[in-house]
Amino acid sequence: MTALTDKHSLIDPFQRKIEYLRLSVTDKCNMRCFYCMPKGFKGFEQPGHWLTFDEIERVIGAFAELGVSRIRVTGGEPLVRKNLDELVHRIHQLPGVDDLSLSTNATLLSQHAHALYEAGVSRLNISLDSLKPERFKEITGSELQPVLDGLMAAKSEGFSPIKINMLAMKGINDDEFEDVVEYCIEHDFTLRFIETMPVGDTGIQASDHYLDLAVVKDRLAQRFDLIPGVMPGGGPARYVQVKGTDLRIGFITPISQHFCETCNRVRLSVDGTLYLCLGQEHKYELRPLLRQGVSDDGLKNAIMEAIAIKPEKHEFRDKPGQVVRFMNMTGG
């Protein structure tokens, strides 16, 4: 199988156009969400293996020349990587990069919101699984208040949209969905519910709390008047809107209704490994090439070879547990 490219686009063997790269700038995190990373986890990538800013810029430049126009910076927690605003600024300057966004847990956002905005990030996704401080601490191991402060800092800075990502978990936070809807209406945030995925041991354990989002949607419809909604660049989420408000609610359903046939993305981890699917082990190592002085054309050829092995779909339902790496390692 081959990846096709005319100079300006990357097409995988299943005729999907790859135009979106999720860039993990670190596998470290200042939280320990129980579904993502185990407590006491020590298996972090050694700093010598982290792609440098120059290397990241080169890889993204090559992707952009191949038609990838959307970049999301993620992790681990991206804000624990030093001088992230400098990196973001460099990515923003690259020809062909039209859309630069960031996923964060928001704990450090109060300090960084202004610099990130100035550097070119326009859109933010922020994880928030509970508005109850004690519960938030049980889920993440951290305090809620800095996250709420970070959200307010982002709002006053002018990021738009700000999307709240909430993992819907039975027996953990399923009594809070309506409260989070109200919170998002009040602050003009977008809300997305996500199904837990069996990625790594932690994700498999979290799957005990799996909730089909169709059930969540039906429940919300009893309290709110939901009408069909759209969200530009909404990715795999299916949206509704709460009538009479600006709130859009998205449902991301990797398990109950997978969206692999429209998958347009790949992931670059902090050590320069390209992961072709969140739910499969197919990967391609770019770091050795970069450090052996690969040419620009050689780098682009390597990216095309990688896209040629992008699998058709994940198998979370049929083979849960086949992905042993944790979410913080891939860049969720």
What are the φ and ψ backbone dihedral angles of 226, each rounded to 5 degrees? -95, 130
- CA dist., res. 252 & res. 238, Å (int): 7
288 and 49 in contact (C-beta within 8 Å)? no
Q: What is the DSSP letter of 171?
A: T
Q: Which of ligand SAM, ligand SF4, none lies near 88, with the C-beta cut-off 5 to 8 A by kind?
A: none
140 binds ligand SAM (CB under 6 A): no
Position among 24, 26, 101, 105 found at the interface with ligand SF4 (CB under 6 A) = 105
Beta bridge partners of 99: 70
Nearer to ligand SF4, 97 or 166 (CB): 166
The interface with ligand SF4 within residues 13-32 (CB under 6 A) comprises: 29, 31-32
Q: Which of ligand SAM, ligand SF4, none lies near 148, with the C-beta cut-off 5 to 8 A by kind?
A: none
Peptide bond into 161 cis (omega under 30): yes
168 binds ligand SF4 (CB under 6 A): no
26 binds ligand SAM (CB under 6 A): no
Burial category of 222 from C-beta neighbours within 10 Å (exposed 0-12, middle 13-18, buried 19 and up): exposed
The interface with ligand SF4 within residues 132-151 (CB under 6 A) comprises: 140
77 binds ligand SAM (CB under 6 A): yes
| Count, residues near ligand SF4 per rule CB under 6 A | 14
Q: How far is the CB of 140 from ligand SF4 (least distance, A)?
A: 6
- CA dist., res. 49 & res. 26, Å (int): 11
Site track for ligand SF4 across 116-135, x = CB under 6 A: -----------x--------
Position among 88, 206, 249, 278 found at the interface with ligand SAM (CB under 6 A) = 206
197 binds ligand SAM (CB under 6 A): yes
| Count, residues near ligand SAM per rule CB under 6 A | 21
Position among 18, 33, 91, 172 found at the interface with ligand SF4 (CB under 6 A) = 33
61 binds ligand SAM (CB under 6 A): no
Q: What is the DSSP letter of 49?
A: G
Q: Cα–Cα–Cα angle for 115, 118, 122, nearest 5°?
A: 105
What are the φ and ψ backbone dihedral angles of 196, each rounded to 5 degrees? -65, 145
Q: Which of ligand SAM, ligand SF4, none lies near 32, with the C-beta cut-off 5 to 8 A by kind?
A: ligand SF4
Burial 160-198 (b: 16+ CB within 10 A, else e): ebbbbbbbbbeebbeebbeebbbbbbeeebbbbbbbbbb
Nearest to 103 by CA among 82, 85, 127: 127
Say which residues have a Cβ less than 8 Å from residue 243's Cβ, sequence separation at least 6.
224, 225, 226, 227
Q: How far is the CB of 176 from ligand SF4 (least distance, A)?
A: 17
Q: Tokens 């690969």 label which residue?
A: 294
Nearest to 234 by CA among 149, 142, 165: 165
249 and 241 in contact (C-beta within 8 Å)? yes
80 binds ligand SAM (CB under 6 A): no
- CA dist., res. 10 & res. 21, Å (int): 12
Q: Which of ligand SAM, ligand SF4, none lies near 206, with the C-beta cut-off 5 to 8 A by kind?
A: ligand SAM
- CA dist., res. 99 & res. 235, Å (int): 13
36 binds ligand SAM (CB under 6 A): yes
Position among 26, 101, 273, 328 found at the interface with ligand SAM (CB under 6 A) = 328
173 binds ligand SAM (CB under 6 A): no
Could you tell me which stretch among 74-82, 258-266, 272-280, 288-296 binds ligand SAM (CB under 6 A)? 74-82
Residues that bind ligand SF4 (CB under 6 A): 29, 31-33, 36-37, 75-77, 105, 127, 140, 327-328
Residues that bind ligand SAM (CB under 6 A): 29, 35-36, 74-75, 77, 103-105, 127, 165, 167, 194, 196-197, 199, 203, 206, 327-328, 332
